[in-house]
């Protein structure tokens, strides 16, 4: 009996996706629970598993857009796995029935005849990112304010605590957990930054679900660290590490990406010295971290080289005044330059 493999509903408002890669091919025997293919949507990429065991017959090729509920394969559950000896690879193995060599997915991406350019469809995730960025620019009055912070104290504390922290918690102590903690303190001091405009109303959030931007080969995603105010440094570092792994492997779920109240983006990991981050709608604020660079600064009347980081806060000026934005950013700066102001629990 052949069992149909249909595209499942993977989230509210998602109506289609792309079969980005088949993990099994036609003729393979698959077990229930085996990953069959990866479905890439405008929000996440997710692996679709077999619901039954049998021999797979893939109907749609890699790269094809499919609708929710569409049949993309069948599994013949009446067949059992066949033991076969490994075959020698020959030149003919790479030749299709028509006698022509099969093209790779890259070669099938509508490449121009003269090879001077390649035209290919944007992935659903990249199209969604593009639409979100344009929408953010069109629907909010985005303004950015800047400051800088001396990272000496955090670097010293991190170096001093790293060994014991890693041994105790099984995860390294990074800079992001400090900035999440500092952002929570700043959001408490300036609550309006933790809100959003909805139609003619302003929604004030009294919880702290902090989005942490993660770059992947498929584009930028922003998984949410839930209840960041209630989590320890170790909990935050575990969440960040888990999300980074899921993002790289395309295993983030819709619920991992929705409902954040504020976002932090670290362009410094790519070497960015200064930038103006764009809001993550419908949020009203986003903090941009940047590369730590030794720069000459005045300390007690003397010039010293200190590890400095530029900070940028982009905010929706419709809801947040300049005074509030600057106050928020200074609070972050104070917490980073004097970590004792944070609830240190390691």
Give the CATH fold of the 1-80+97-121 domain. OB fold (Dihydrolipoamide Acetyltransferase, E2P) (2.40.50)
pLDDT of residue 107: 42
- For the chain, the average pLDDT equals 88
Per-residue pLDDT reduced to its tens digit, 288-298? 999 999 999 99
pTM of the model: 0.75
User: What stretch(es) of the chain map to CATH 3.30.559.10?
Assistant: 126-341
CB burial of residue 298 (10 Å; 0-12, 13-18, 19+) = exposed
296 Cβ contact partners less than 8 Å away, ≥ 6 residues apart: 303, 304, 305, 306
Per-residue pLDDT reduced to its tens digit, 298-337? 999 999 999 999 999 999 999 999 999 999 999 999 999 9
DSSP per-residue letters across 267-280 = GGGGT-S---PPP-
Catalytic residue (choose from 109, 321, 338, 345)? 321
207 Cβ contact partners less than 8 Å away, ≥ 6 residues apart: 227, 229, 261
Tokens of 112: 């121009």
DSSP label at residue 286: E
On whether the CB atoms of residues 289 and 309 are closer than 8 A, the answer is yes
Catalytic residue (choose from 23, 76, 242, 317)? 317
290 flagged as catalytic: no
CATH fit for domain 126-341, picks 2.30.30.90, 3.40.470.10, 3.30.559.10, 3.40.50.300? 3.30.559.10
Closest CA to 54 of 16, 90, 26: 26
Per-residue pLDDT reduced to its tens digit, 78-122? 887 766 544 444 333 333 333 333 344 444 447 556 688 988 878
321 flagged as catalytic: yes
User: What stretch(es) of the chain map to CATH 2.40.50.100?
Assistant: 1-80+97-121
């Amino acid at each position: 009996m052949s069992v149909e493999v249909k595209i499942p509903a993977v989230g509210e408002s998602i109506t289609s996706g792309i079969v980005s890669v088949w993990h099994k091919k036609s003729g393979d025997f698959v077990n229930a629970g085996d990953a069959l293919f990866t479905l890439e949507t405008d929000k996440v990429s997710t692996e679709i598993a077999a619901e039954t065991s049998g021999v797979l017959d893939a109907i749609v090729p890699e790269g094809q857009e499919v609708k929710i509920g569409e049949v993309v394969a069948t599994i013949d559950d009446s067949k059992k796995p066949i033991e076969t000896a490994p075959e020698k690879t020959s030149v003919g193995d790479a030749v299709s029935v028509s006698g022509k060599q099969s093209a790779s997915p890259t070669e099938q991406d509508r490449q121009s005849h003269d090879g001077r350019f390649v035209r290919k469809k944007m992935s659903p995730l990249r199209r969604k990112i593009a639409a979100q960025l344009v929408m953010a620019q069109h629907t909010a009055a985005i303004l950015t304010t800047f400051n800088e912070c001396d990272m000496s104290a955090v670097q010293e504390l991190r170096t001093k605590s790293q060994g014991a922290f890693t041994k105790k918690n099984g995860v390294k102590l990074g800079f992001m957990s400090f900035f999440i903690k500092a952002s929570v303190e700043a959001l408490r001091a300036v609550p309006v930054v933790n809100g959003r405009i909805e139609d003619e109303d302003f929604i004030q959030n009294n919880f702290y679900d902090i989005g942490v931007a993660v770059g992947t080969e498929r584009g930028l995603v922003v998984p949410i660290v839930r209840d960041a105010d209630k989590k320890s440094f170790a909990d935050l570092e575990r969440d960040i590490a888990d999300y980074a792994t899921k993002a790289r492997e395309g295993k983030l779920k819709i619920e991992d990406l929705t409902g954040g109240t504020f976002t932090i983006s670290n362009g410094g990991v790519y070497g960015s010295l200064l930038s103006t981050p764009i809001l993550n709608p419908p949020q009203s604020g986003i903090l941009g971290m940047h590369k730590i660079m030794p720069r000459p600064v005045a300390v007690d009347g003397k010039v010293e080289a200190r590890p400095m980081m530029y900070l940028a806060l982009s905010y929706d000026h419709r809801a947040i005044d300049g005074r509030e934005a600057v106050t928020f950013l200074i609070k972050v700066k104070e917490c980073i330059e004097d970590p004792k102001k944070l609830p240190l629990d390691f």
